Amino acid sequence: MRVNFVSDENIEGAGFSFNWTSIDMLGIPSLQEETLTKNQGTITSSGFSTNYQNLLKYSWKLMVTDGKYIVVEFVTNLDIESGTGGRCPYDALRIYKGTTADSSTICTKQASLIVLKSNEILVEFTPDVSGSGAGFSLDYKTVGRNIVICYHYTNIVC
């Protein structure tokens, strides 16, 4: 950190003061990654039901049987630090279809069923430096492509 204070000779004042604290970044891993290959399972944030750790990026790559789609359903409402107006300036849960940048970004207190038309997805949780909550728990499973397409267009499971 560098602080540079410059003054001229015209006006005098009380000046300023500030406090600072250092944190040991070497003790905080920057990324937790896991690859899941089972056709169903559960993903939870670290320490789910108690507060999750800040400044740690979590990443889960799901790769299931070819020819299947992945359905994600939240077991409980999310308890993550959220923004307003659909923006996620603080903590965010992002679910990517395949490896593309096309994602569903979730930072609200409520989430629902998400159908991803892919057999590979990436789930990322990125908390910022402050504020945390109980986190999230989501279940994922695979379904045949014909069931998902019917569900997607008619809002009923066929």
Integer Cα distance of 120 and 127 in angstroms: 23
Q: φ, ψ for residue 90 (rounded to 5)? A: -110, -100
User: Is position 15 within any domain?
Assistant: no
Split into its structural domains, the chain has a count of 1
pLDDT higher than 70, residue 133: yes
User: Is position 22 within any domain?
Assistant: no
- Other CB atoms within a 10 A radius of the CB of residue 54 amount to 15
Tell me which residue has tokens 């923006």. 87
This prediction's pTM: 0.69
Cβ neighbours of residue 135 closer than 8 Å, sequence gap 6 or more: 44, 45, 46, 47, 48, 49, 51, 52, 78, 79, 80, 125
- Dump pLDDT digits (tens) for 28-72: 556 678 889 999 999 988 888 888 888 888 889 999 988 888 888
User: Is position 114 within any domain?
Assistant: yes
User: Is position 61 within any domain?
Assistant: yes
pLDDT band at 155 (very low <50, low <70, confident <90, very high): very low
Arithmetic mean of pLDDT, 130-142: 87
Greater confidence, 145 or 106? 145
**β-strand partners of 44:** 137
**Residue numbers of the domain that contains 84:** 32-154
Greater confidence, 26 or 123? 123
Determine the pLDDT at residue 81.
Answer: 80
Distance from CA of residue 134 to its chain's centroid?
13
Determine the pLDDT at residue 158.
Answer: 35
Query: What CATH number has the domain bearing residue 67?
Result: 2.60.120.290
Most confident of 4-8, 81-85, 86-90: 4-8
User: Is position 24 within any domain?
Assistant: no
| Average pLDDT of the residues of the chain | 76
